A and B are shown apart, each in its own frame.
Chain A
């Protein structure tokens, strides 16, 4: 065979392969894309079922597909009744929930009290292995249904009174319960879910402002406007496309250059020097949110037993300079565990202990007897935490003169494995996103003895008592004051160093008239509008 023939054959083979793979390519209809608002997205971690979704990607689609009993205001985060007509209680333990007539699922079936009760019972049942199971834990009868081998199939605390009314009985009074009900775990489920599970997972049926249209795994998911939507604010844009991206930077570049309409976060490189505001103009959006970063201590390690040492380390972190240099000054240095968008927030709870003060930090370190050996700081490398973790380690090292080192682990799973098995040997990074806009969301799950996200191994009976007392307070105001008192108690022990709060920041492209997130950093898709076509 001559060389020329060989080259021809190889080239021919490559050409055939290219043509074969190129088949099916080509853009979609242009009319359709003119009516479609595209949103940066990632593959959800679980099937799209409200009770089985606790992460952001799945949650964003679930929020557009479903409507809950209460809805959080897009600007203030204040809850107001949506599907619920009224939520009433006399003892903060049994709640009577009436739902509005006229709500339907996308398949035409009505939304009834049973839709909510069935949904919550499904989520709580142990054998369903639902992600949001623990959101049901306050309901009476949860303990019997939630185990691997449940002794009951439904919770006795849920009772359907009539098609429009059901009652919820909790194990103990929980005053702020109604304002937690906007979380996606409490959304209703249609009958179709229970009769045709596979069909539902392939094409979810909700009661929200958008209907499911299509999904290509690892590429995109589209929703169309639900013209039968019963909510007070109607959706406007015809279609939403959730487009899967691997890198936030790429999606940001796409918004800047007009290939994408909405990016749900801003890469920190674009925050530097306020570049994102130049790039996006009026499309650069920012509001106070419920996300905090902090550094936890492994209290099971005796080297960290002394709260004075823990405060010394906290005071050695120059939060303001880190925020300015790494996050373009957009984040807010923390002065406590809660954020200002939460109901019941009290400023400056932490006081001196969260303020950068090199002299005082050195004094406290000396008072605590110093620290031996390298101090490690750990975070997962796949979450974009490296730059600020390094800066924090440098700040501690240079202020206190101890050998602080950032030692990342490759993945979030690895980070969680260390947390679950209590194997941290130094400070570990903690990110927390509030589930509802109340100060309680920053406390109970994190600092109560044996709470589900208490990775520190922290236990203080006084804190537990203060939290329980606040849970049972007669009014929401009284409850919030009780939580704030508990927050001060925790901060005094400093099991977890508050770093800063992250505002809700997102970007809109030039085609977008409006597309807003609420302070919980959930997209309010009823606000989504495109500019009229010129």
Chain B
């Protein structure tokens, strides 16, 4: 397993280079006039374009540009946003908030999703199962912005239970409702997945054996069935954590959470390349590590899986 981990870590390098290059090329390649819209309701002056072309090495070939960017990156220089602040500062301010929100959302979706899945999976088709099914489907079908706006309107504006926006440096309590909104789609999926896996596993030979052996139901469900049912769920949660760490444009917007999602979104629309590429560099690393951890978890969850 040690060698496997090492090999996976080495593989991070080409993936990292590949994805950051693609993003770099895409953001600059978005339009043939990268400074359109930077000068209000008029075209930028030739003097402005000349200065900016120089600053971002736009006269170079795209590969050379990228290598120059990468060179600066390795000295810790993420570059500057269009408004002159250090991208590293902006990320350092925003990322803790995003991580907090991601973890809150993940915990909510994992706990509620798995519990709902277990309840409906063990009871089988019936009222509880249908209730879980319909309520999860409802969450899926309502886009995130609707869930967010409705919860904020009802809990925040009308009942005054929560703040209508999340303060800078939010506490965990501030993030519970946004975390629920953000995690709702995945929660539905986790519930369905847990339920399906459980139903499958109740029919598996080892469960019959365990039941036949006279093990308590709690032990059969808790140790044998859950553990085997969780592989797919853990895969999904790991992948989802990677995705959640990428920030949430809509949820962040609705609750004014100053995280990474809004930054990337605004950066893309305004073609603020330094910000977008800087953040994506970070996200790619996070995503790759999340996937690696998930792959390693398989071996822990299912002793039959061996990495060689």
Contact = CB atoms under 8 A, between A and B. Distances in A.
A219 interface: yes
A259 B163 contact: yes
Given A47-B83, A413-B270, A246 B252 contact: yes
Interface in B188-231: 222-223, 226-227, 230
Contacts of A246: 252-253, 256, 262, 266
A30 interface: no
A285 B36 CA distance: 34
Contacts of B107: 14
A430 B40 CA distance: 11
Contacts of B163: 254, 257, 259
B235 interface: no
B47 A452 contact: no
Contact of B41 (A17, A201, A249, A431): A431
A246 B226 CA distance: 42
A127 interface: yes
Contacts of A55: 40
- Residue of B38, B45, B50, B99 contacting most chain A CB atoms (<10 Å): B45
B93 A21 contact: no
Contact of A17 (B103, B157, B168, B253): B103
Interface string A129-169: 11101100000000000111000000000000000000000
B222 A147 contact: no
B45 A146 contact: yes
Interface in B271-291: 271
Interface in B124-148: none
A420 B270 contact: no
Contacts of B83: 43-47, 58
Contacts of A129: 45, 47-48, 50-52
B31 interface: yes
Given A46-B82, A54-B39, A133 B33 contact: no
B41 to A, nearest CB: 5
Contacts of B46: 147-148
Nearest to A421: B33
Interface residues of B, number: 70
Contact of B172 (A1, A22, A130, A254): A22
Contacts, number: 184
Contacts of A257: 156-157, 160, 163-164
A91 interface: no
Contact of A413 (B37, B84, B171, B226): B37
A461 to B, nearest CB: 22
A453 interface: yes
Nearest to B46: A148
A133 B100 CA distance: 43
B167 A27 contact: yes
A22 B100 contact: yes
Interface string A409-440: 01111111101110000000011100000000
Contacts of B156: 253, 257
Interface residues of A, number: 69
Interface string A233-251: 0000000000011110111
A420 B45 contact: no
A257 B161 CA distance: 11
Contacts of B270: 45, 411-413
Given A24-B169, A420-B33, A247 B157 contact: no
Interface string A345-366: 0000000000000000000000
Contacts of B47: 126-127, 129, 133, 146-148
B99 A21 contact: yes
A452 B43 contact: yes
Contact of A47 (B41, B42, B84, B253): B84
Contacts of B93: 216-219
B65 to A, nearest CB: 19
B85 interface: yes
B1 interface: no
Contact of A453 (B42, B157, B227): B42
A107 interface: no
A45 B38 contact: yes
A3 B222 contact: yes
Nearest to B241: A14
A453 B45 CA distance: 12
B31 A413 contact: yes
B164 A413 contact: no
A390 interface: no
B181 interface: no
A247 B254 contact: yes
Contact of A411 (B37, B39, B149, B255): B37
Nearest to B168: A219
Interface string B239-275: 0000000000000111110100011001001110000
Interface string A438-455: 000000010000001100
Enumerate the 6 nearest inter-chain pairs by beta-carbon distance, A residue then B residue, closest first.
Answer: A413-B37, A126-B47, A417-B36, A129-B51, A47-B84, A416-B37
8 contacts: A6-B301, A18-B104, A21-B99, A21-B100, A129-B45, A131-B48, A201-B84, A452-B43
Given A130-B48, A146-B47, A254-B165, 8 more contacts: A3-B222, A218-B93, A244-B258, A249-B149, A251-B165, A254-B164, A412-B37, A453-B42
